[in-house]
Amino acid sequence: MNNINKKIITVLLVDDHPMVQGGLSACLSFYDDIKIVGSTTDGKEALNKALTLKPDVILMDISMPLMNGIDATEIIIDQIKETKILIFSMHDNPEFVKSAIQAGASGYILKDITAEEVYFAIKAVASGKTHFSSSIAKMLLDNPISRHENDKLTTREQVILSHIAQGYSSKEIAKILTISFRTVEAHRRNMKIKLDIHSLAELIRYAVNHGIIEDNKCI
């Protein structure tokens, strides 16, 4: 192969699973136009390393201990415009994908793909293009990012929702937060309207799926 004219792409790995990092390093070592210049296991550290290393591409996991990949992406994109971020996640949850795109990621690939696909995805985003796993692309077609997608819940609403999801009634929440139960009900109503949700069940599931309450808390 003719690699003489190829510019070497520098890559920073961000993944909290040592196994995944090991696998990626091993798989990408076969390509001589890609150089892994660093790796870290958390979004917070990723930001520091990104600032010093200025990699062409960051291969970023989403679920990480201190700072998640979405938040890290948002901050890094904001501070280093030359760096492209390729999300490397095992989750094909539409919410994650949309958040990643809104945070400024150039691509989103799933962890069940082959090394070749990772390679092509890195090449694509490094050259300024976007790249999504075929299943992700298909999913985005089925779940278009709506106009109100950004209307996330306010801090107060999240507090209310976390209490609701824990099983407290409006009255109990009112007592806990020392506000009127009318206010609690107003928040309930507003959340349902802005999320286009029409039942308590969907609201609870929203809370679980969006990390407003931990999956296995109390159950």
Partner DNA sequence: TTCTACCTAAGTATTACTACCTAGTCAACT
Partner DNA sequence: AGTTGACTAGGTAGTAATACTTAGGTAGAA
Task: Return residues touching its own copies (CB under 8 A).
Answer: 16-24, 26-27, 90, 93-95, 111-115, 164-169, 197-202, 204-206, 208-209, 213, 215-219
Closest CA to 56 of 37, 31, 30, 78: 37
CB of 20 or CB of 177, closer to its own copies? 20
Q: How many CB atoms lie within 10 A of CB 54?
A: 13
CB of 2 or CB of 150, closer to its own copies? 150
Cβ contact 210:93 at 8 Å: no
Closest CA to 128 of 2, 1, 7: 7
Q: How far is the CB of 5 from its own copies (least distance, A)?
A: 29
Q: How far is the CB of 209 from its own copies (least distance, A)?
A: 6
Which region holds residue 116: left if phi is over 0, alpha if psi is between -120 and 50, else beta?
A: alpha
CB of 21 or CB of 83, closer to its own copies? 21
Pick from its own copies, DNA, none: which does 177 bind, CB < 5 to 8 A by kind?
DNA
CB of 5 or CB of 199, closer to its own copies? 199
CA angle, residues 147, 153, 155, in degrees to nearest 5: 150
CB of 92 or CB of 149, closer to DNA? 149
Pick from DNA, its own copies, none: which does 20 bind, CB < 5 to 8 A by kind?
its own copies
Q: How far is the CB of 72 from DNA (least distance, A)?
A: 24
Pick from its own copies, DNA, none: which does 67 bind, CB < 5 to 8 A by kind?
none
CB of 129 or CB of 198, closer to its own copies? 198
| Nearest 10 degrees: Cα torsion 154, 156, 161, 166 | 140
Interface residue list for DNA (CB under 7 A) = 154-157, 164, 169-171, 177, 179-180, 182-183, 185-190, 192, 198-200, 203
Pick from DNA, its own copies, none: which does 5 bind, CB < 5 to 8 A by kind?
none
